[in-house]
Amino acid sequence: MKTIGKLAQSLNLNVETIRFYEREGLITQPTKPISGYRQYDETIAGQLRFITKAKMLGFTLKEIKSLMSMDNDCAQIELLSRQKLAIIREKISDLQRLEKVIVDMTNTCIQNDDPTYCPIIDSLK
């Protein structure tokens, strides 16, 4: 059992982040004893680790909340993961197109001999 400050420190999180997750309903805030501080158990620490790892994989808090409520329903979790993967692949494709455009624009500078003219700026007009 840990106070929110100790829990945050042990998980490398900000106290306000934990409070935000409580307000958003991702974790349950422990009841406050008559005297003293709320005590957070290992279950909550595990939920916070889950949230942190899922965020690192690109899941939104809404998606994470869904994952946490699926009670190990592998079919549902797989569906959500496949949907996320499709979004990630679409973003990768968009970034690759953007990369090609910028490479092409940059290459026009290499071929430009006029120091008063910038093909990149011209293409953005």
Q: How far is CA 41 from CA 4, 28, 57, in A?
A: 10, 11, 25
Residue 36, pLDDT score? 87
Q: Which residues contact 64 (CB under 8 A, 6 or more apart)?
A: 26, 50, 51, 54, 55
Q: How far is CA 77 from CA 6, 56, 88, 98, in A?
A: 32, 17, 16, 31
Q: What percent of the chain has pLDDT over 70?
A: 100
How many other C-beta atoms are found inside a 10 Å radius of the C-beta of residue 64?
Answer: 21
**Residue-wise pLDDT tens digits, 61-74:** 999 999 999 988 99
Ranges of H-type helices in 12-73: 15-23, 42-56, 61-69
Distance CA 41, CA 30 (A): 9
**Residue-wise pLDDT tens digits, 29-38:** 999 898 889 9
State residue 41 phi and psi, 5-degree precision: -95, 180
pTM to 2 decimal places: 0.77
Residue 68, pLDDT score? 92
**Residue-wise pLDDT tens digits, 88-121:** 999 999 999 999 999 998 998 888 888 888 888 8
